Amino acid sequence: MGLVKNTIAVMCLIATGPVVAAAGDTADHADYLKALRGQYSEGQSYWPLAITTDNIAPAPMQALPQPEKADAGKVALGEALFNDTMLSRDHTVSCATCHAAHLVFADRRRQAVGIDGQVGRRNTPALFGINLWTSLFWDGRANSAQHQALFPVSDPKEMDLPVAELVKRVNQNEKYASAFAAAYGISEIKSVHLADAIAQFERQIPPPDTPFQQVLQRLPGEPEVAIGMLSDEQLWGLHLFRTKARCMTCHEGALLSDNQFHNTGLSYYGRKFEDLGRYEVTGLASDVGRFRTPSLLAVSHTGPWMHNGLFSSLPGVVNLYNAGGARTKRREAYDNDPLYPETTPLLVKLELTKEERSALVAFLTLL
């Protein structure tokens, strides 16, 4: 009977978290972490149930799959185009300008910087797992890798080159003309071929080689070894990510994204730096201020964070979500405004302690 009571007590402790004393010390914290490690070491099917705000079970965590084999000639063409400044009006900007390989195909800037030093409105997303996305860009304006490939070329703040002009340039380039003829069996290069080649290369971008990807790779066959790769604080952070912090409400599966659009309260509606997000694509009032849930893979290497690069530290991001997102008070001038955005109800105050927030950040740095 005593064994049963002790087992129940440990399970309740894991589900609810340790009791924090007034002085800031955690009662029985070592025992709590030992119990936590024991349960997580059994394998993901034995982990405590994830807690989400909408009570919908999230897709389980799993390693991002390696790229499938592709036509080497098309991939090489795409890589050449990706790195070629010929894709911009004045030959100064390439795709790699904002998606640098050594920066996990991001740029570490608050907002993207394009032709003539123009600063865009949004942060540059990292590129990996591109085939797992159901939409591309923060506002979801593209629905496939091919669809998104040429948007930056014609964007006046990015490359500022009409696609028709790019097609002309490439056809006049003997190297590209010969390579496209060999890879695609064509005598005239069209925009669809350019988009496909770039997409072929982007699909070959490997998953980021991060500590948690290594954990996830070993987890199915060696769960105890995999969890053993985490420190106590990191393991606690993983548990908080899945439970009290409710991160998996939106960050799930291999991408750690639900492929959906949400309003975290950062649209700056009616103010300087306003960005209406998904609304600019759909025209739906419900989409004002919504942005695609970003992947958290390699998140410690992709800052600044949020669609506008507002936060320069992960603790700052955690503090935002701990507060339940940003919730601006509606001014009288907007009382009857049908477009006034509302922060998603999926974000609620979490009441994470200082120690819990630190553990969560420690876990995020592994991703």
pLDDT tens, position by position, 252-310: 999 999 999 999 999 999 999 999 999 999 999 999 999 999 999 999 999 999 999 99
For residue range 303-331, what is the model confidence (pLDDT) as tens digits?
Answer: 999 999 999 999 999 999 999 999 988 88
Extract the annotated binding site: 95, 98-99, 247, 250-251
- Mean pLDDT across the stretch 82-92? 98
pLDDT (average), residues 12-22: 43
Domain match, 19 and 130 both: no
pLDDT of residue 179: 98
Same domain, 236 and 191: no
108-117 residue pLDDT tens: 999 999 999 9
Whether the bond between 304 and the residue before it is cis, its omega within 30 degrees of 0, is yes
What CATH number should be reported for the domain holding residue 133? 1.10.760.10
Are 244 and 51 within 8 A, CB to CB?
Answer: yes
Average pLDDT, the chain: 93
Cα–Cα distance, 4 to 231 (Å, whole number): 29
Structural domain including 248 reads 2-63+210-364
Annotated binding-site positions for heme c: 95, 98-99, 247, 250-251
What is the predicted pLDDT for the residue at 335?
Answer: 92
* Domain co-membership, 57 together with 106: no
From the number of C-beta atoms within 10 Å of its C-beta (0-12, 13-18, 19+), residue 278 rates as buried
Lowest mean pLDDT among 5-9, 19-23, 37-41, 285-289: 19-23
Backbone angles phi and psi of 137, in degrees to 5: 80, 160
The yes-or-no verdict on residue 17 having pLDDT over 80 is no
163 lies in the same domain as 217: no
Grade residue 187 by pLDDT with cuts at 50, 70 and 90: very high
From 203, 238, 264, the end of a domain falls on 203
Q: Assess whether 224 and 191 both reside in one domain.
A: no
Q: Are residues 100 and 156 in the same domain?
A: yes
- Of 169, 203, 237, the one marking the end of a domain is 203
